Chain A
Amino acid sequence: DIQMTQSPSSLSASVGDRVTITCRASQGISNYLAWYQQKPGKVPKLLIYAASTLQSGVPSRFSGSGSGTEFTLTISSLQPEDVATYYCQKYNSAPRAFGPGTKVDIK
């Protein structure tokens, strides 16, 4: 099975900072990559699919890029409401595995 990793596992940044999270797949997955946001005590929410397509209603400060084995999620200007754990997921084949998550909080 393809393994998903994320870095860093956690980060602390100031409001307005640019934040980047990296997700790597152990084998190429083309652009079959999604990003989810899970706020504390809440249900995960789809942010980005097909590596770079923003889900409807998601603020434009979120963006995704990458293809193959390396992907990034960028928050262009971190806001207090962005405190959450972010997960990547590959969906090119079963199992549609998730990365271990990156916890983002405000410094």
Chain B
Amino acid sequence: EVQLVESGGGLVQPGGSLRLSCSASGFTFSRYGMHWVRQAPGKGLEYVSAISSNGGSTYYADSVKGRFTISRDNSKNTLYLQMSSLRAEDTAVYYCVKDRGYGDSLDAFDIWGQGTMVTVSS
């Protein structure tokens, strides 16, 4: 079964840091671009960050650029999101998502993790 399982969320103070992990199984992780999408409580979906299959190319939304770093370890089938200088507006459920097509093709997201909640509050 194709599966993505996020971990690492929690309560953090403004200005703090957190690292999210996403463990992938059931598919050849190293062949797919991966992404993070977040959803603030009661709000819509916001595209956060992307990384190519070999990790050589990344993208960040303006709202997180310079504060978040996406990375991956293909030997461990794991995606990461290092978050620093966290703000209240970063409070959201963070989803790890997989491209439908392999080889860094431009494609929709066919598999979503269950999400991990990040709360930024003092």
Contact = CB atoms under 8 A, between A and B. Distances in A.
Interface of A: 32, 34, 36, 38, 43-46, 49-50, 55, 85, 87, 89, 91-101
Most buried by B among A32, A44, A101: A44
Interface in B1-52: 35, 37, 44-47, 50
* Interface residues of chain A: helix, strand, loop or mixed (majority): loop
Interface string B93-108: 0010000100000111
B62 to A, nearest CB: 9
Given A34-B108, A95-B61, A96-B35, A46 B47 contact: no
Contacts of A44: 45, 95, 109, 112
Contact of A43 (B47, B106, B110, B115): B115
B57 to A, nearest CB: 10
B100 A96 contact: no
Given A43-B113, A95-B59, A49 B44 contact: no
Interface size for chain B: under 10, 10 to 19, 20 to 34, or 35 or more residues? 20 to 34
30 contacts: A32-B106, A34-B108, A34-B109, A36-B45, A38-B45, A43-B95, A44-B45, A44-B95, A46-B100, A46-B108, A46-B109, A46-B110, A49-B100, A49-B107, A49-B108, A55-B110, A85-B44, A87-B45, A91-B107, A93-B106, A94-B50, A94-B59, A95-B59, A95-B61, A96-B35, A96-B50, A96-B109, A97-B47, A98-B47, A101-B44
Contacts of B61: 95
Nearest to A46: B110
B78 interface: no
Contacts of A85: 44
B114 interface: yes
A45 B47 CA distance: 15
